């Protein structure tokens, strides 16, 4: 187990596993509000987590899904348990759903259209998670990405 910055286990790889895919981190409530205020088109919000049992397949499932021909215009992430204020603010935008992490929230023109909560991730393979994401992408994303 690695420890960094004197703050417990090093979880930076859990962030880079997403940011290496081009996923943009939202680390403050202001970041979250800015994104939601200007949101047009399709957007996926990944609620990242340190939970090994579910997040261990959520991030690899996300990577598989991002190889699909149709994908959201924008993809962002908040890190539950680490960027607590940003995660709490993000959840205000889909507060009809109980807090869940890891999870995926899909929006079109600022309106939530689909939610894949932890119970749809935990105990499933990365490919099964990717299949759920691809189904959402096919349903709500327009033409295949260039």
pLDDT in tens, 23-56: 899 999 999 999 999 889 999 999 988 766 677 7
Residue 124 lies in domain: 12-139
In a domain, 122, yes or no: yes
Distance separating the N- and C-terminal Cα atoms of the chain: 40
DSSP at 118: G
Please state, in angstroms and rounded to a whole number, the distance separating the CA atoms of residues 141 and 146.
Answer: 13
Q: Is residue 38 part of a domain?
A: yes
Beta partners for 78?
47
Whether residue 83 lies inside any domain: the answer is: yes
In a domain, 1, yes or no: no
Q: Give the pLDDT confidence of 87-96 residue by residue, as tens digits.
A: 999 999 999 9
CA 76 – CA 18 distance, rounded (Å): 9
Please check whether residue 73 lies inside any domain of the structure.
yes
What digits encode the pLDDT tens for the residues 62-89?
999 999 999 999 999 998 888 899 999 9
Rounded-to-integer distance, Cα 94 and Cα 105, Å = 8
Total number of domains in the chain:
1
Catalytic machinery residues: 51, 53
CATH of residue 64: 3.40.30.10
């Amino acid at each position: 187990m690695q420890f960094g910055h004197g703050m417990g286990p090093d979880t930076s790889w859990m962030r880079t596993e997403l940011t290496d895919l081009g996923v943009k981190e939202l680390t403050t409530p202001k970041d979250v509000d800015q994104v939601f205020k200007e949101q047009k088109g399709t957007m996926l919000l990944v609620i990242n987590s340190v939970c090994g049992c579910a997040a261990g397949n959520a991030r690899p499932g996300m990577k598989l899904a991002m190889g699909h021909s149709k994908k959201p215009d924008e993809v962002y992430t908040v890190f539950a348990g680490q960027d607590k204020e940003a995660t709490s603010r993000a959840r205000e935008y889909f507060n009809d759903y109980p807090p869940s992490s890891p999870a995926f929230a899909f929006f079109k023109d600022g309106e939530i259209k689909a939610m894949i909560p932890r119970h749809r991730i935990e105990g499933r393979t990365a490919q099964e998670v990717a299949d759920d994401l691809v189904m959402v992408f096919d349903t709500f994303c327009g033409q295949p990405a260039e």
